[in-house]
């Protein structure tokens, strides 16, 4: 399924396409959203926000993925709102089902146990498939093959400021491989053995660990334990080659075989974040302090007066989560040696 609304590609009437000067090449990049048909209306508000604040100026594509076929209504409503080409893909069954090596009795007990302790999404099977898919598979969907960068978008998010530059070009020009807006602590109960498995992996494949890694961001004791810090992956701008790399794929494979996506409730956020922190050079991770963003219940609101003015931001900087309890940004500023804003 492919739909395009290509007004931005129509050349001016007086010129044939050939006569146009060579345009600055657009980066091969796409928005990507995993969603259910029922998420349509909440998604349309995210789309409106991102189109108004960014994409109407650039016309990037948008890939939608679902474990079921999208409805005609979903396709029509999203296509009409997006300036770029929209594409709709179904997820292969084996990427959204319980793998053979998972013991279903043990899995059931784990869900019951987590539910009884009130762990958020602790009893959900579909949430686990979602986390595993976002961890290991979305970037391998054939619809993603042609792209170099992705920007993940979820339903019901808001963008509070105009983004007046081409973010994908910015990523490419600076050789950034992973970009985030909010970093916070994960619920420990969802990932009791994730760090143990990560340590095993590091011992087995020390060659995958970057020299200039970001270990101090994710561990306060030089790797002995995980401090629960992760980039909040509902917003994510990344280079697909990072997720397609041997290091990342081996890491995912190792975690997947360990079963923690099912026996525990490993999220894609800590998985992506640990991988980015260990396998990438710290300079390849970018903090977007200029992107006003909301995903319930947290807001990231730029503090820089100039950014707020030029971006016509509509958020309250007093609600900014960056330096509140639970955020990992104090650590980030310290680790990267960046001066914290004084306001
Ligand atoms: P939360 O932000 O962690 O509370 O989780 P969300 O409910 O926002 O889900 C994360 C993303 O996965 C969103 O883009 C959802 O639309 C999508 N998602 C969650 N569950 C499913 C599912 O069962 N099927 C599909 N196709 N998408 C899902
Ligand atoms: Mn969400």
Crossing angle of helices 72-81/40-53, nearest 10°? 10
Among the atoms of ligand 1, which is closest to the Cα of residue 156? 8
Cα within 13 Å of Cα(169), Cβ side: 9
Domain count along the chain: 2
Q: 197 and 257 share a domain?
A: yes
Of 15-19, 135-139, 293-297, 303-307, the one with minimum mean pLDDT is 15-19
pLDDT of residue 128: 98
CA 232 – ligand 2 centroid, Å: 10
Q: 216 and 342 share a domain?
A: yes
Q: Is 126 in the pocket of ligand 1 (CB under 6 A)?
A: yes
Q: 178 and 227 share a domain?
A: yes
pLDDT of residue 11: 38
Among the atoms of ligand 1, which is closest to the Cα of residue 43? 16
pLDDT of residue 342: 76
8 Å CB contact between 151 and 176: no
pLDDT of residue 10: 37
Q: Is residue 165 part of a domain?
A: no
Catalytic residues: 236
Report the nearest-CA residue for atom 28 of ligand 1.
Answer: 35
pLDDT of residue 315: 98
The position carrying tokens 């760090």 is 195
Q: Is 39 in the pocket of ligand 1 (CB under 6 A)?
A: yes
Q: 50 and 123 share a domain?
A: no
Q: What ipTM score was computed for the predicted complex, to two decimals?
A: 0.99
Q: Which of 32, 33, 34, 261 has most ligand 1 atoms within 8 Å of CB, for mutation? A: 34
8 Å CB contact between 198 and 250: no
Confidence of residue 83 (pLDDT cuts 50, 70, 90): very high
pLDDT at 21 over 90: no
Confidence of residue 4 (pLDDT cuts 50, 70, 90): low
Q: Is 238 in the pocket of ligand 1 (CB under 6 A)?
A: no
Domain around 210: 100-134+174-343
pLDDT of residue 31: 99
């Amino acid at each position: 399924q492919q739909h395009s609304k290509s007004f931005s590609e129509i050349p001016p009437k007086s010129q044939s396409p050939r006569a146009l000067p060579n345009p600055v090449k657009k980066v091969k990049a796409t928005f990507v959203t995993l969603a259910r048909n029922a998420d349509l209306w909440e998604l349309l508000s995210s789309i409106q926000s991102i189109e108004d604040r960014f994409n109407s100026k650039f016309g990037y594509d948008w890939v939608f993925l679902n474990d079921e076929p999208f409805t005609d209504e979903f396709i029509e409503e999203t296509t009409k709102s997006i300036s770029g080409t929209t594409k709709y893909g179904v997820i292969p069954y084996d990427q959204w089902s319980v793998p053979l090596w998972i013991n279903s009795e043990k899995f059931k007990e784990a869900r019951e146990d987590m539910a009884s302790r009130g762990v958020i999404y602790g009893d959900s099977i579909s949430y686990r498939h979602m986390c595993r898919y976002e961890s290991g598979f979305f970037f391998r969907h054939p619809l993603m093959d042609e792209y170099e960068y992705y920007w993940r978008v979820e339903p019901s998010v808001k963008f509070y400021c105009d983004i007046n530059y081409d973010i994908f070009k910015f990523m490419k020009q600076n050789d950034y491989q992973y970009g985030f807006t909010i970093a916070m602590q994960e619920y420990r109960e969802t990932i009791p053995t994730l760090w143990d498995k990560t340590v095993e992996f590091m011992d087995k494949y020390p060659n995958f660990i970057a020299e200039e890694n970001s270990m101090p961001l994710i561990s306060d004791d030089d790797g002995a334990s995980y401090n629960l810090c992760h980039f909040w992956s509902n917003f994510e701008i990344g280079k697909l080659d990072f997720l397609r790399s041997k290091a990342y794929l081996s890491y995912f494979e190792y975690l997947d075989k360990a079963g923690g996506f099912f026996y525990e409730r490993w999220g894609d956020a800590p998985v992506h974040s640990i991988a980015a922190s260990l396998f990438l050079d710290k300079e390849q991770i970018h903090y977007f302090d200029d992107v006003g963003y909301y995903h319930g219940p947290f807001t990231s609101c730029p503090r820089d007066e100039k950014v707020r003015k030029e971006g016509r931001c509509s958020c309250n900087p007093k609600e900014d989560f960056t330096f509140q309890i639970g955020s990992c940004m104090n650590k980030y500023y310290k680790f990267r040696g960046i001066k914290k804003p004084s306001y």
